Amino acid sequence: MTPLTTRARAALLVAASVALAPTLAAAQSTQSSLDATERAIASSVDSHNADALALLERLVNINSGTLNLAGVRQVTDVLRPRLDSLGFTTRWVDGAAFHRAGHLVAEHRGPGPKLLLIGHLDTVFEPSSPFQRFERLNDSTARGPGVIDMKGGDVIILAALRALKDAGALDRMNVTIVYDGDEEEPGAPLSAARKALVDAARGAHVALGFEDGAGDPKTAIISRRGAASWTLTTTGVPAHSSQIFQPEVGAGAVYEAARILNEFYTQLSREQYLTFNPGLAAGGTLVAVDTTGTQGTAAGKRNVVAEHMTVTGDLRALSPQQYAGAKRTMEGIVAKHLPRTSASIAFDDGYPPMAPTAGNRKLLSMYDKAARDLGTGAVVAVDPSRAGAADVAFVAPFVPMIIDGIGLSGHDDHSEKETADLRMLPVQTKRAAVLLYRLTRTLQ
């Protein structure tokens, strides 16, 4: 290699300093945007990131499908001592009353405003699933059951609190954590299954949900559509098919159901954020649908007018008002019958909606500022059509400021391709920890 001249070396140094200037300026700007405690929080997150990754792998390797009650409790056995060591008072809420494992609740009483953090212990992958183990794909990604939905979020909660503890900020904080054990398949009655969460929400100033949301770290959730279910039942006069539409026979149960579904579509399908999907339909002379509304049988003949039809479906709306309006419209449609038929519809309210509010928008702006001050980029609201139902919606009537979807980023949750972006574990942890610190200082 030919040696560089003094002039050439000087030119390279100047070029390098020019190239580095934006990076150095950004780093200095980020540092100046954080106070000493916030810088200590960020440093702690980085120093303990390997521990957080190890904990994530350990949790993912525990099968905690909702109906694997022992597995859900095993996840609790890992999390609970770590919360105890941070100064939380922990308790287990037994789930026998709602036919599930139960919930882990942890409280840290302090002088600050009450902050509610929400996670869940269970996944959609039961022991029968072939998808059971954490697998590193490369330095930045890993695949595994529940790695983003939502064991990654569970780890972020713990890692953020540990960083706050290390920075000397946790002692002044008033934090309650609820890790539900049945988010993926809630127990019944739902009022009992969500009582611990609702009780924890009372008096809270802020609620943060650590679901993976849209899987994009540039977004968070300020509104979620609720998920209800409905069952439509129609009846007609059984008769020989050659007599259908005659005054004494009428239209039959299947035509009545078809009329109703068509009117649902005609009157409601263009309303933004409202969806109503008929997922199962069974009609004929004899019809039987199980109590879950997911399996059924039907028997009939081509030359016999159908006597019965049952249709089950779901209903999703962005606000309680939109949900109530849709129900009224659907009930009005059902009340009008074709000749010699009858019909009824029943709703199961399920997960409530979480409407976008001024408080939620304010909280998002605070989270966005924390993210930008950390140098990790801006955060905007997710389109509600990409945000399904989640536990955080149950606290919406009680908590004035809520955001969700600030857990671990990735893609393909609820599938055997569920994958996490491990680079975002410390990023999301820092954002959450700095936000919690600032909330404690600014809210009264």
Q: Where in the chain is the domain with CATH 3.40.630.10?
A: 36-224+354-442
Q: Where in the chain is the domain with CATH 3.30.70.360?
A: 226-351
What stretch of H or E contains 279?
strand 275-284
Locate tokens 């946790």: which residue?
170
Query: Side chain identity at 13, as an amino acid letter?
Result: L
Question: What is the residue-level pLDDT of the chain in tens, covering all 444 positions?
Answer: 333 343 443 443 344 344 444 433 444 445 569 999 999 999 999 999 999 999 999 999 999 999 999 999 999 999 999 999 999 999 999 999 999 999 999 999 999 999 999 999 999 999 999 999 999 999 999 999 999 999 999 999 999 999 999 999 999 999 999 999 999 999 999 999 999 999 999 999 999 999 998 889 999 999 999 999 999 999 999 999 999 999 999 999 999 999 999 999 999 999 999 999 999 999 999 999 998 888 999 999 999 999 999 999 999 999 999 999 999 999 999 999 999 999 999 999 889 999 999 999 999 999 999 999 999 999 999 998 887 789 999 999 999 999 999 999 999 999 999 999 999 999 999 999 999 999 999 986
Q: Which two tokens stand for residue 166?
A: 């290390």
Which residues sit opposite 310 in a β-bridge?
233, 282
What's the rounded Cα separation, in Å, for the pair 123 and 411?
A: 15
- For 280, 308, 313, 315, the CA distances from 277, given in Å and listed in that order, are 9, 20, 5, 7
What's the rounded Cα separation, in Å, for the pair 212 and 388?
A: 11
| pTM across the whole model | 0.85
**CB neighbours (10 Å) of residue 10?**
11
CA within 13 Å, CB half, 155: 31
Counting beta carbons within 10 angstroms of the beta carbon of residue 211, is it exposed (0 to 12), middle (13 to 18) or buried (19 or more)?
buried
Identify the CA nearest to 117 among candidates 143, 149, 141, 153. 153
Domain 226-351, CATH number (from 1.10.260.40, 3.30.70.360, 3.30.470.20, 3.40.50.620): 3.30.70.360
Write down how long the chain is.
444
Decide: 259 and 338 in contact? Cβ < 8 Å.
yes
- The superfamily CATH assigns to domain 36-224+354-442 is Zn peptidases (3.40.630.10)
